[in-house]
A and B are shown apart, each in its own frame.
Chain A
Amino acid sequence: MESSYLTLLSLIVFLPTAGALALAFFPREKTEAMKIFSLVITAAVFLLTAVMALPGKGNWQFNTSLSEMQKVFSIDWIPSFNINYFMGVDGISFPLVILTSFVTMLSMAASWTIQKHVKAYCMLFLLLETGMIGVFLSLDFFLFYVFWEVMLLPMYFLIGVWGGPRREYAAIKFFLYTLLGSVFMLIAILILYFNSDLTKLSHEQLIASGVVSSQLDQAEQSRQIAQLHAKSNAVHTFNILALQQMGQHTTVFDSELLFGKSLQWWAFLLLLLGFVIKVPSVPLHTWLPDAHVEAPTPISMILAGVLLKMGGYGILRICYPICPQAGYDLAYFVCALGVVSMVYGGFAALAQKDFKRLVAYSSVSHMGYVVLGIGVWSAIAGTQYNSDAWKMGVNGAMFQMIAHGISSPAMFFMVGVIYDRVHHRNLDQFGGLFAKMPVYSGLAIGIFFAGLGLPGLCGFIGEVFVTLSVWNYNKGLAVISASVVIITAAYILWTLQRVYLGPEYKGPHGDHLHPMNARELAIAAPLLALAITLGVYPQSLFSYMTPSVDRTVQDLADWTRKNDETARPKATAEIDGAEPSATVVQQ
């Protein structure tokens, strides 16, 4: 069993690397063959993930009824530092893996316009895919960090070599920001590692976190666990699931570190910093407009479609479950980050003259929903630890990540299509495209509406879920986040009006406005189709992710209740404790 999971997940992660190595042996002038080969590789990876998504109970199929990690395997990698080659997938990571392989495939198809140094481009592109998928699949913190960083170098070169006029500035800015964030993340990882202690975990927790494989028979499990518990020294670990268990069920991360704040408070903050730079949240977003605008179209698609999701994924998978106390204390801070990004990104988008920059700022605004949805810690004493609203928020945030991962690459692609023809992106010089390119304009309007969050399209579901859940948490924030929809509508509709409507196109290169070709259509159409499918039938996505999301949130809600009970004097706890059970009976 484990070996078959090992094959499957390793294949998904490292097939692109193998492809990149194979590309090195292609003759330099066979550029078309290289592109086709890369496309085949990305398509193969997508196919593998698609096989996982198929309904069924096969060994390689993703089981939607399970909320735990599945397809888990673990192999010793660096035993002297307790590092394992440890991967697995659950409802939180799986949709993102599929999204990654899908967007990567489409953007490889969109890379046909690349003419310069094709070999290097394809190799870097494939290495990038390894890094991205690896981040979502790894369950060992060290492995996670390695993949996180592996992504940076290809991205730097992809922006720096194939980008627009200010590409070098944009590339180094992107690199510096992310590296700074990841250095802080590394510090947090080490702090957590050196304070973790596997011997503090119980039998069930050790099995649940994959420290002791659940595939072994019971006698062997008990033997290994007894061996572990017999150790007198602390046994440190990079196992993310074990760290989650420690964060929620033990006190190893509660000791004071600096300035009266606990260890997990600092770890949370440092990790959050690393992730929020990636999301990005205001005020750490300034790398994004530059990187997105300067990057070539396919790389913008990847940046917007996948890279930003890593921040949200990290917050949900790592920050909150490992450091719940800190998350609880800083809930308002996280929500504020989200709301500020939503508002600021929206207004900034309104002010843009550059088409691509506008789409970039819309990403800042849309990703704000993700941070807000995750941060809505509504399971508190006042709500009887009812986690429903929070579950809704996190589900919404996850949905928003996927929806944005579809609409935003599509928007960037649409901008790229028109840029390839007229070689400018000045919003004031467009107009009347509908008359010249009706199919393109139709698709683009559909896609932009998906970004706007029109009901029936994918953007709507996530936004509505998040906004509704915030209502239960803080009405003020809910009002603000709901009104952001108006700003969004304003900049998108105004853009549509300036670009597609109007009597006729008066900008430069008007004679180049020929209709979309088949390749472009084959990239845009699936994205729009997916945007409509998810908008009309969101259950198709929720069925994959809800069990895991609900479980994660429920664990945190349980932690809150337990934490409050131990913190308060016993007498009041008993009175309060009686109430929820009574309401349950009434229901």
Chain B
Amino acid sequence: MSLSDLINQLVIDTLGSTAAFRGELVLCGTIVLILLSRVFNLTSRVDSFYVTLAGSAVALYLAGPWLTVEPVGGSQQLFTGLLVYDSFTIYFRTLLFFFAVLFAVFTRISGVPDRDAAPDVYTLVLGATLGMCLMASSNHLLMVFLSVEMASVPSYALAGILKGRRQSSEAALKYAVYGAGTAGIMLYGISLLAGVLGSMHLPTMGVRLAELLQAAKLLDGTNMVLALGGLMILVGIAFKLSAVPFHFWCPDVFEGASAEVNAFLSVASKAAALALLARVAIGFGSIAVPAVPATQVAMFSVSEQAATAQGAPSEAAAQTATPKIERSSQIKALAPARDFLARVLAFTAIITCTFGNLAAYGQTNIKRLLAYSTIAQAGYMIMPIPAAMVLAGTNPEAAGAAMAAMAFYAGVYLFMNLGAFAVVAFLRNALNSEDIADYAGLIRRCPIVVVCFSVILFSLIGLPPLAGFNGKLLIFSSLVEAKLWTVLVIGGLNTAISLYYYLRVVKIMTIDPEPENRIPVSLSFIPGTYVAAITLPLVVLGIWWNNLNQFALSAAAHLF
């Protein structure tokens, strides 16, 4: 292949990819716009909030499922296989862009960041969101690493955005050091795997691994190297997920950073990390449906009719027919890898969930409490992935449903944690405090916010008829299907454990008497409305959750 051919291919590939990538491109444009307005000193005249809001809304509109570019063949590779574009990508991108819109509105209402800091903060937020979109669609270990870093580095800066606050700076430093350490470990793991398997392209690595396992050519040493490499990559993802034992940054960062940043970290970052974990787990535990490279897509679309005349599709069909048999035998061969992943992830999920719930008991600061709650919730959200690993070999449909359970919960979780941190931020503005004890008797002062916060907390416990219950139901369903009884029972017990500390917050707000010397608390109409608007979906999705469930199911339909 000559150089000009290569360049030609690259051009076709890139052009073929852009249509599916336009949401992210809009985000890039928005970032550049905000930076330029900063350079030309326009920020005093144009509020960067509106730029952010418009940018993320347009991105949401272009990337959402309503106007989507259908992935060719269910799953399509972008940019020479670095990214994958399928319904799973669409689901998580929609989620992230939707969150960006809600988040922009939230920061506007809560007043953090102020107008001077706004361009910086929004640039960082949008940049991190971009990285998270890449995380959710990674198809290549290089991309995995780059996207994790791209999401993390802005987050470090965000954690320290409250200038002049010691705690905030400390949190940012802790976060950055921890992040750098885990990134190094992850990179080492990637190099180990790439060395053994000779590729960084996830589907190719899966095939190579299957070939090695099939031929039983693995020496004991290689086995260890593979396992070690896998574990090291998981360390990087576990850090993003704040899974035990890589959670230590979480409570400190959450306490130090502002509630707004916490909302961003706990929702967007977690959703993207989950999607990434799913991608990596599927990459090594199963052979993905052969994705169509963008070059082929472009050629199809350019010369579709001509190709039909020449009988090209039948050729393509013949090409996919043979791999089908091969694919199922390869999936079978990957059983040890799946088993390994399922064990490691199930163990992580159990420990994370239990630890988060137990550690939340003694907390007096609401942000620390919610940080531990976030850790525990991450544990629940990891659970369906080992279930999917167990099911992938025997029952692809059920494995897809397990991933759908994770996606569903991530969708519900968006409302729960955004709502919770919104309440914390608004109450901080009103009370100037983030101690749970200072919330005593608040129901007499701002009943709507307290009722909404209670609903959010009940949804986090998982009580019907709220959306959090349905998420948990789906997760537990996947565990039953996979017959992971230990995880199931521990997950169930954790629900009962978590009741106590969530309910304690509710109890303090509703049952406890008001302190006598409290400054008058008043919340204006707009914050109350915002909180109510975030809480309402929890009730609506608690009763009519069919559509979201179907969206999640269709998102996971092409994964296995």
Contacts and interface: CB of A to CB of B under 8 A. Distances in A.
A190 interface: yes
Contact of A187 (B464, B488, B511, B549): B488
A190 B476 CA distance: 8
A36 interface: no
Contacts of B485: 258
B459 to A, nearest CB: 12
Interface string A63-86: 000000000000001111100000
Contacts of A183: 492-493, 495-496
A572 to B, nearest CB: 37
Contacts of A258: 485
A160 interface: yes
Contact of B492 (A81, A168, A187): A187
A452 B489 CA distance: 42
Contacts of A176: 496, 499-500
A522 interface: no
Given A80-B553, A149-B463, A183-B493, A168 B511 contact: yes
Given A153-B458, A153-B463, A160-B507, A186 B549 contact: no
B500 A186 contact: no
Contacts of A145: 464
Most chain B beta-carbon neighbours within 10 Å: one of A80, A156, A160, A180: A80
B550 interface: yes
A146 B474 CA distance: 14
Nearest to B472: A186
A160 B493 CA distance: 23
A150 interface: yes
Nearest to B479: A190
Contact of B499 (A81, A161, A175): A175
Contacts of A168: 507, 511
Which of A149, A152, A161: most chain B Cβ within 10 A? A149
A26 interface: no
B89 interface: no
A194 B481 contact: yes
A187 B499 contact: no
Contacts of B463: 149, 152-153
A573 B495 CA distance: 49
Chain A contact residues: helix, strand, loop or mixed: helix
Contacts of B550: 80
A161 B510 contact: yes
A191 B482 CA distance: 11
Contact of A80 (B469, B493, B549): B549
- Max chain A C-beta neighbours (<10 A), residue from B485, B499, B545: B499
B476 A146 contact: no
B546 interface: yes
Contacts of A157: 510-511
A172 interface: yes
Interface in B526-560: 545-546, 549-550, 553
Nearest to B443: A120
A180 B489 CA distance: 11
A44 to B, nearest CB: 23
B511 A175 contact: no
B457 to A, nearest CB: 11
Contact of A161 (B480, B488, B511): B511
A112 interface: no
B503 A172 contact: yes
B5 to A, nearest CB: 47
Contacts of B545: 78
Given A78-B546, A194-B480, A149 B496 contact: no
Nearest to B455: A153
A37 interface: no
A550 B27 CA distance: 68
A385 interface: no
B473 interface: yes
Interface string B475-510: 011001100010011001101100110010001001
B74 interface: no
A161 B454 CA distance: 15
Contacts of A434: none
Nearest to A181: B496
Given A80-B553, A153-B463, A180 B511 contact: no
A179 B463 CA distance: 9
Contacts of B510: 157, 161
A388 B372 CA distance: 57
A460 B488 CA distance: 45
Given A172-B503, A186-B473, 17 more contacts: A79-B546, A80-B550, A81-B474, A145-B464, A146-B469, A149-B463, A149-B464, A160-B507, A161-B510, A161-B511, A168-B511, A172-B507, A183-B493, A186-B476, A190-B477, A194-B481, A258-B485
A-B CB proximity, top 4 nearest: A183-B492, A146-B464, A190-B480, A180-B496
5 contacts: A80-B549, A149-B464, A176-B496, A190-B473, A193-B477
Interface of B: 458, 463-465, 469, 473-474, 476-477, 480-481, 485, 488-489, 492-493, 495-496, 499-500, 503, 507, 510-511, 545-546, 549-550, 553
Interface of A: 77-81, 145-146, 149-150, 152-153, 156-157, 160-161, 168, 172, 175-176, 179-180, 183-184, 186-187, 190-191, 193-194, 258
